[in-house]
Amino acid sequence: MQIKQDKYSLGQSDNITISGKGEDVRLDVKLNLSVAKPPIGASISGTIIDSQGNPLEGAVIKLMDKDLKSISHTVTDTQGNYMINNIQGNTVYTLVAIAAGKLLNETESFTINTNESKNIDFTLINDPNIILGAISGSLTENISSEPLAGSIVSLYSLINENPTLIAMTYTDNTGSFIFSEVSPGDYNITFTSLGFIPTKQIIKVSANKISSVNVSLSNDPLSSNGIVSGIITDTFNKKIAGADVLLYKVDEENGLIPVAFTSTSSSGIYTFINVPQGTYLVKSNQSQLITVANS
């Protein structure tokens, strides 16, 4: 590659004054050979486009060292072009590109030589989650504001005004819950907690936003305050701590309706309180981490 540089240092004449009409003056300038050397360092340039081949203006490109610490960064111009200069040669780097609404893209580690000019282009694809939203909230008791743990939170879509169950979760020890990766639209959320009057609320979800909903439940004066408890064991009668236990109500058609969630104690014991009259069963399981070897 060839680059253009000044052969001589910039020269300048002495000052001269023209005092008369038609005066002829002479200004000589002696130029000295330039002793400046071309910039030492490598450069990386390229173009950032989207999946349709359109240039991405304002995309950010970061140059990172082998420990993924940022060395330099720049942004693309209107044509999606970028350039990073004065890069130390014979060093390992990684280049990362990101733009609004796109998934991050990065190169494999590479080495660039001193004075080398490397071209690296990127194609950034749409972030699929950018069109999705989320719902976050909490459930409390309306008088004391105490969190209601282990409550059932059900999410229904309102397609053609017909509620359709699409997700279900449980409140944690702080009464909090979350639904992630929710498509934009209107939803109906129902809240059920033993000993409390169930309630529901309509919420709107927008793309790339978190919709918040905080609900307080009132005590059910008609609750029978029943108690369901037991011990979860394995096939060797060993008590299982930290097992998930879900209480289901059995309806007249033997359908199962989840009504409460809890975990076993260190002794494998679980308890549900404020259980209304009815027929119930519990289901239990426990997850574990496993290591999958490469084939």
DSSP 152-212: EEEEEEEETTEEEEEEEEE--TTSEEEEEEEPSEEEEEEEE-TTB--EEEEEEE-TT-EEE
Q: pLDDT tens digit string along 137-165?
A: 999 999 899 999 889 999 999 877 778 88
Total of domains in the chain:
3
Mean pLDDT for 58-65 is 92
pLDDT tier, 237 (very low <50, low <70, confident <90, very high otherwise): confident
Give ∠ CA 60-62-63 in degrees, rounded to 5: 155
pLDDT tier, 106 (very low <50, low <70, confident <90, very high otherwise): very high
Q: What is the pLDDT of residue 89?
A: 86
Judged against a pLDDT cut of 50, whether residue 122 lies above it is answered with yes
Q: What is the pLDDT of residue 6?
A: 56
CA distance 241 to 185: 40
Burial level of 22, CB count in 10 A (0-12/13-18/19+)? exposed
pLDDT tier, 2 (very low <50, low <70, confident <90, very high otherwise): very low
Same domain, 242 and 199: no
Residue 78 sits in which domain range? 42-124
Same domain, 80 and 151: no
Same domain, 141 and 166: yes
Judged against a pLDDT cut of 90, whether residue 49 lies above it is answered with yes
The candidate with the shortest Cα–Cα distance to 95, out of 57, 37, 44, is: 44
Same domain, 104 and 143: no
Judged against a pLDDT cut of 60, whether residue 124 lies above it is answered with yes
Same domain, 212 and 232: no
Same domain, 114 and 153: no
Domain boundary among 159, 186, 217: 217
Is residue 84 situated within a structural domain?
A: yes
The candidate with the shortest Cα–Cα distance to 171, out of 142, 140, 196, 145, is: 140
pLDDT tier, 107 (very low <50, low <70, confident <90, very high otherwise): very high
Q: What is the pLDDT of residue 137?
A: 92
Question: Which carries the bigger pLDDT value, residue 45 or residue 220?
Answer: 45
pLDDT tier, 1 (very low <50, low <70, confident <90, very high otherwise): very low
Whichever domain contains 84, its CATH number is 2.60.40.1120
Give ∠ CA 101-102-103 in degrees, rounded to 5: 135
Question: Which carries the bigger pLDDT value, residue 199 or residue 38?
Answer: 199
Is residue 7 situated within a structural domain?
A: no
Q: Are 103 and 127 in contact (CB under 8 A)?
A: yes
Q: What is the pLDDT of residue 16?
A: 52
Q: What percent of the chain has pLDDT over 90?
A: 34
Question: Which carries the bigger pLDDT value, residue 22 or residue 75?
Answer: 75
Q: Rounded to two decimals, what is the model's pTM?
A: 0.54
Mean pLDDT for 260-288 is 84
- Output the average pLDDT for the chain: 83
Is residue 292 situated within a structural domain?
A: no
Same domain, 149 and 186: yes
Q: What is the pLDDT of residue 177?
A: 93
Q: Are 25 and 56 in contact (CB under 8 A)?
A: no
DSSP code of residue 64: E
Is residue 189 situated within a structural domain?
A: yes
Is residue 71 situated within a structural domain?
A: yes
Binning the chain into helix, strand and coil, the percentages to the nearest 5 are 0, 50, 50
Same domain, 259 and 278: yes
For residue 146, give every residue at least 6 positions away whose Cβ sits within 8 Å of its Cβ, in sequence order, or none: 140, 175
